[in-house]
Amino acid sequence: MEKTFQRESLEFDVLIVGAGPAGLSAAIRLAQENRSLSIAVLEKGASVGAHILSGAILEPRALNELIPDWSKRNAPVHVAVQEDQFYLLTAKKSFRLPTPITMRNSGNYIISLGRFCQWLGEQAESFGVNVFPGFAAAKVLFDPNGAVIGVQTGDMGLDKEGRPTDSYQPGLNLYAKQTLFAEGCRGSLTEELIRHFNLRKNSDPQTYGIGIKELWKISPEKYKKGLVVHTVGWPLDSKTYGGSFVYHYENNLLAIGLVVGLDYQNPYLDPFKEFQRFKTHPLIRHLLEDGECIGYGARALNEGGFQSIPTLTFPGGMLIGCSAGFLNVGKIKGSHTAMKSGMLAAETLLQTKTLEPAQELKNYSTALKRSWVYKELNRVRNLRPAFRKGLWAGLLYSAFDQFILRGKAPWIFHHQPDYRALKPAKICRKIAYSKPDGKLTFDKLTQVYLTGTQHRENEPCHLWVKNQKVETDITIPVYAAPEQRYCPANVYEIIEKNGKPCLHINASNCIHCKTCDIKDPSQNIRWVVPEGGDGPNYSNL
């Protein structure tokens, strides 16, 4: 007789999925104003901050509004930006250019966003918020009328075939009057909601980049606390959108990374290897020589901006933060806008006279349109799509748009899905990448070790290939299996099986960047949450 398992359930007034800047800011604002509300925050990482990766430079505007005395509360925000530098790179040379208006960082701070979220989590708990790390929201719960009534957390202790083992624990049903989805970029439940409620009916598709970051300990004589450097150009070609960041953080630490737009065309491009090549440039090499790489990570980021914001509300819930796509591409930052969106959602909840299940709180969208978030994103709405014509056209248009038009152009450029940009391999040139030296440049597996990522070997694969035939008939022969290159963690490999190439998935390597879910040319790969607590364990990133 098959054993049956009973799912336990918990009820809250407000449930927040994701303990990032948006989710925690929403929780704090709710608890600040109404201690009687029962509030829960779910976090799929083993701890708050474990899955957080960003550059990061914090514009403190939203933080000042949320917690005015943040400095007295020992927020890990204390490396003020001292200088901005902006360079155009060629293979051997660098040309310093005026820093674009939107990228000037006076008054901002270089931070570890992971540490900042840990601190926000502590603040939330001090206000009485229930923060539950290690619980992955795996399924949206709907009532008979199709309204959101909560989420179900993932089952634990299933084998590879999805069958209960001796350690099986069924997930919880968590019910709430309102559920705020703050999963970050390309959240799996958010994408389900967008499809279910057709939330993109009146917006462009979202577009993305992949950000690859390392943390280095460099020699004191090369360290300049508070220096911020951004570059465009090499190693990317003029058709590929992207750029680098080099931030002199605290204690001789250097945060360095490369962002590559996922609308790139050449399937032979490998964003990880482009980043390794970037470090060999004379401008960068001298900083890192005699240094030590102590951290690594990668994460997709939203780049669609204003045009790609979906409908934000639906019966029973709201989208906040990078789940909705509030990153300001012109500023190359989105933590402040994510925080503000969470605060606005919370304030909308607080202003609702009677909070009932299945309500659609449309005033959140109204509040957002009246806020500085909307004004910020509207002003830079045309910058990212302008680069579809190439680096030079993008730079020229950006200067014209921001210096002359001041972001008030009477037109809007639109986006196309990133996966459609990829061209067949036969019409693209192969890219030769140098072998890593193990000191300045590295291979993927070496760097994956630094992420601390862990997944139980016998659990179900959280990377779903919808149709293996699509892989063997289209993705491999037509696009030269681009997943083995766009993945920054060596998850995807092509192996021989019965004399034919086929896709092999090393799911335990996954660092939850979501790039495969975005860039697969046939949209044949779907990323879903693994067991709660699995994935990277980023420290100081």
Residue 161, helix vs strand vs coil: coil
Residue matched to tokens 């909705």: 324
For residue 537, the model assigns a pLDDT of 98
Predicted pLDDT of residue 3 = 60
Give the separation between CA 320 and CA 306, rounded to whole angstroms.
14
**Quick one: tokens of 472?**
């063997």
Cis, peptide link before residue 56, omega less than 30° from 0: yes
Q: What phi and psi, each to the nearest 5 degrees, are found at residue 314?
A: -160, 165
Residue 532, pLDDT > 60, answer yes
End-to-end CA distance of the chain: 49
Which residue intervals of the chain bear CATH 3.50.50.60? 9-71+115-205+308-379
- Span 193-213, pLDDT tens digits: 999 999 999 999 999 999 999
Of the candidates 217, 210, 207, 200, the one whose C-alpha atom is nearest the C-alpha of residue 242 is 210
| Omega before 393 within 30 of 0, i.e. cis | no
Where does the pLDDT of residue 497 fall: very low under 50, low under 70, confident under 90, or very high at 90 and above?
A: confident
**pLDDT at position 499, please?**
85
Other residues' Cβ atoms within 10 Å of the Cβ of residue 363: 16
To which CATH superfamily is domain 9-71+115-205+308-379 assigned?
FAD/NAD(P)-binding domain (3.50.50.60)
Q: Which CATH architecture has domain 420-428+442-527?
A: 2-Layer Sandwich (3.30)
CATH 3.30.70.20 intervals, the chain: 420-428+442-527
As a whole-number percent, the residues of the chain with pLDDT over 70 amount to: 99
Selecting from 3.40.50.300, 3.50.50.60, 3.40.50.1100, 3.30.9.90, what CATH number does the domain 79-112+206-305 have?
Answer: 3.30.9.90
| Three-state SS at 25 | helix
Q: Are 190 and 198 in contact (CB under 8 A)?
A: no
Which residues, 6 or more positions from 142, have their beta carbon under 8 angstroms from its beta carbon? 148, 149
Q: Tell me: pLDDT of 414 over 70.
A: yes
**pLDDT (tens digit per residue) in 367-388:** 999 999 999 999 999 999 999 9
CB 468 within 8 A of CB 503: yes
In terms of Cβ atoms closer than 10 Å to its own Cβ (0-12, 13-18, 19+), residue 150 is buried
**d(C-alpha 383, C-alpha 400), whole Å:** 10
Write out the residue limits of the CATH 3.30.9.90 domain(s) in the chain: 79-112+206-305
Instruction: Name the strands in the sheet holding 83-89, side by side, starting at the edge strand that comes first in the sequence.
Output: 94-97, 83-89, 227-233, 242-248, 253-261, 208-217, 292-302
For residues 71 and 82, what is the distance between their CA atoms, to the nearest angstrom?
19
504, 492 Cβ separation under 8 angstroms: yes
